[in-house]
Amino acid sequence: MNPSPETGAKCEVLFTVNGEAKKVLAYPMERLLDVLRHDLKLTGTKEGCGEGECGSCSVLLDGMLVNSCLVPVAQASGASIVTIEGISAHALMRPLQESFLGCGGAQCGICTPGMILAALHLLEKKPEPTLADIQEGLAGNLCRCTGYMQIFEAVARTARRSVAE
């Protein structure tokens, strides 16, 4: 079992989640992942390994892609957090989701929210990524179903579409 850092007293943590100010009462070492899923009911962020290997729990923290299973909630105090639920308005989001659907980039779907956030983060930095850029950009997100080929294609297709527009 993963450590449950229930020691010490709960404290108040203030941060912004998907653009809304939030206040939660949590153990300071509690994982941001658990606070998002249990306290804020944002269950689109998934747990895969609990140790920062699989990337299923990826969220954006002040614009950085992080594994929310490795972030103690106290460390997120004052930060701005974006989860899969809070990013539908992003200009790249719909093309990315449609490409994932069209190319077969989502199979069982459990890695998909994290994978999509990682892809979005990559495309923001590199609007015209090479295959090597895509492979590198998604290397922290494991997928057991697809063998990644169709995910690479989905990201490349999104880039082509958005550059063409």
Partner 1 sequence: MTVHHIVGASVPRKEGWDKVTGAARYVDDMTLPGMLYGATVRSSAPRGTIKNISFASGVDWNDFVIVTAKDIPGKNCIALILDDQPCLASETVNHPEEPILLLAHADRHKLRKAVEAVSIEYEPLPPVQTMEESEQQSTIIWGTDNTFKSYLVEKGNVDSVWKEAAHIVEGEYFTGAQEQLYIENNGVIAAFEPESGVTVWGSLQCPYYVHKALMALCGLTEEKVRVVQMETGGAFGGKEEYPSMIAGHAALLAIKSGKPVKIIYDRMEDMVATTKRHPSRTRHRTAVSKEGKILGGEIEFTIDGGAYATLSSVVLSRGTIHAGGPYYWPSVRIRTKAVATNTPPHGAFRGFGAPQSLFAMERHMDRIAQVVGISPVEIRRRNFLKPGQTTTTQQVIREEIDLNHLLDRALELSDYAAKKKRFAEENKTGPLKKGIGIAAFLHGAGFTGSGERYLNSLVGVEADADGNVRVLVSSAEFGQGTNTVLCQIAAEELSLPYESVAIAQPDTTVVPNSGPTVASRTAMIVGKLVQSAAKGIKQTLTKTGVLGDEYTAEQFRAACREYIAARGALKSYARYEAPGDVFWDDEKYRGEAYAAFAWAVYVAEVTVDLTTYSVTVDDFVALQEVGKVLNPVLAAGQITGGVAQGIGFALYEKVVWQNGRMINNQMTNYIMPTSVDLPPIRVFFEELGNVHGAHGAKGIGELPMDGPAPAIVNAVDDATGVPFRSIPLLPEDLFEALRRESLEQDALSSARGTL
- Applying CB under 8 A, the residues found at the interface with partner 1 are 1-4, 6, 27, 37, 43-51, 53-54, 56, 83-85, 88, 97, 100-104, 106-113, 116, 134-136, 138-139, 141-152
Question: Per residue, what are the HEC states of the chain?
Answer: CCCCCCCCCCEEEEEEECCEEEEEEECCCCEHHHHHHHHCCCCCCCCCCCCCCCCCCEEEECCEEEECCCCEHHHHCCCEEECHHHCCCCCCHHHHHHHHHHHCCCCCCCCHHHHHHHHHHHHHHCCCCCHHHHHHHCCCCCCCCCCCHHHHHHHHHHHHHHHHC
CB of residue 139 vs partner 1: minimum separation in angstroms?
Answer: 5
Q: Closer to partner 1 at the Cβ: 51 or 62?
A: 51
Q: Which is nearer to partner 1, 16 or 135 (CB)?
A: 135
Closer to partner 1 by Cβ: residue 16 or 97: 97
**Nearest approach, Cβ of residue 163 and partner 1 (Å):** 21
Nearer to partner 1, 74 or 78 (CB): 74
